[in-house]
Amino acid sequence: MAGLVRLQPSDHHFHVDGNDSILDAALQAGLPLNYGCSNGNCGLCQARLLSGEVGKISHHDFVFGEAEKSMGHILLCSYTAVSDVVIEAQESAAISEQHITTRVKKLTALTSDIVLLHLQTPRTQRLRFLAGQSVRLDLDGEASATHPIASCPCDDRNIQFHIRLIADDAFSQRIESLKPANTVQVMGPFGDFTLNNRSDRSILFLAFDTGFAPVKSLIEHAMQLEQSENLHLYWIADAEESHYMHNLVRSWIDVFDSFSYTPLNAKDLYPRADPAGGLQADAWQDVSQALLRQVSAEHDKLSDFDIYVAGPDPVARVAWDFLVQNGFPQEQFKSILTC
Ligand code: FES
């Protein structure tokens, strides 16, 4: 079973394979449909079948009224497409804010001062977000901070973050003390550092330090969607060990023909950058200018690309000045501040 699903009134379309629900396929295509539990209880993914044939793939407890049944309402989380179908469903311009109590699944050291925080949502509640977005993490009301999500929205129960631990910082200290099964409140998602589904341009990702986190989410999602556009990642770290997922990125090269990768050390780009104790803002400024000069030299026409920049202050500002102030199309530039 497989079919093309066309949504009305947006006219967006995507393919669904027989083992996937229409909801999962829509989310994997980056379309923000309304949903809640993903398992047939809440009714929030209700939509109307206008034409074509669907097949039930899982039981649902939610009960439709007679009027809804006669109008062809279905639950998108419980049905797949058996043929090409047309479905009436509203897409939200933005995903509404959610507040979810998650539990720590794992806390792993990535480097001496960067940790991977892996949270899991309850079985009946998933976090709806788009690749590249951020959430607010609240630790028992004692400390909170906003961080970009490092994982793919295609696995919306398992949410990962790359967090740099900062000396004498209350949030960092609370993160370090977390144990498996501790609770963390997650609020969000926020931000528009998201893929432009309407663009078929190649993409340059410029990730500085833990700016790799939201870029990882974007690349994994693009690969999940099997996007054919060329993706090139420049990952600039302040020290050799800060390419903390180098092997993962190298594995993407082996699997995806359209992906390429340039790992760079800040010191190689700008010899006066001194990584001892982490780079300061003025050093990042010099490093980002050096990178942008290199990227310009390596690509004949930057306006053929969409450019995504993620990193600490002031790399996004430097990139904006270098690119957009010099005529690069504003709508092809996105940035996010990370730390
Ligand atoms: S998402 Fe809750 S019933 Fe489908």
To test the ligand 1 pocket, which listed residue (21, 42, 125, 127) has its Cβ within 8 A of the most ligand atoms? 42
Q: How confident is the model at residue 267 (pLDDT cuts 50, 70, 90)?
A: confident
Residue pair 101/182 in contact (Cβ under 8 Å)? The answer is: no
Average pLDDT over residues 176-205: 93
Each residue's pLDDT tens digit, 124-168: 888 988 899 999 999 988 899 999 999 998 888 899 999 999 999
Q: How confident is the model at residue 200 (pLDDT cuts 50, 70, 90)?
A: confident
The residue whose CA is least distant from atom 1 of ligand 1 is: 38
Average pLDDT of the chain to the nearest whole number: 90
Average pLDDT over residues 241-264: 93
**List of domains in the chain:** 2-88 (3.10.20.30), 98-190 (2.40.30.10), 202-337 (3.40.50.80)
Residue pair 211/291 in contact (Cβ under 8 Å)? The answer is: no
What pLDDT was estimated at residue 160? 98
- 40 CA → ligand 1 middle, Å: 4
Each residue's pLDDT tens digit, 78-126: 999 999 999 999 876 677 789 999 999 999 999 999 999 999 999 888 8
To test the ligand 1 pocket, which listed residue (77, 123, 124) has its Cβ within 8 A of the most ligand atoms? 77
Residue pair 193/133 in contact (Cβ under 8 Å)? The answer is: yes
3 state SS of 77: coil
Task: Please report the beta strands in 89-201, taking only residues with DSSP state E, as ranges in sequence order.
Answer: 98-109, 114-120, 134-139, 143-148, 158-164, 183-190
Closest CA to 114 of 189, 211, 207, 219: 211
What pLDDT was estimated at residue 1? 67
* Angle at 285 (CA atoms; ends 201, 163), nearest 5 degrees: 75
What pLDDT was estimated at residue 222? 86
Average pLDDT over residues 218-231: 84
Closest CA to 166 of 114, 213, 109, 118: 114
Each residue's pLDDT tens digit, 27-65: 777 787 888 778 888 888 999 999 999 999 999 999 998
Averaging pLDDT over each range in 194-203, 273-282, 322-331, which range is the top one?
A: 322-331
Q: Which amino acid is at 274?
A: D
201 DSSP 8-state letter: S
Helix axis angle, 212-224 to 246-255, nearest 10°: 20
Pocket of ligand 1 (CB under 6 A): 35-38, 40-45, 62, 75, 77
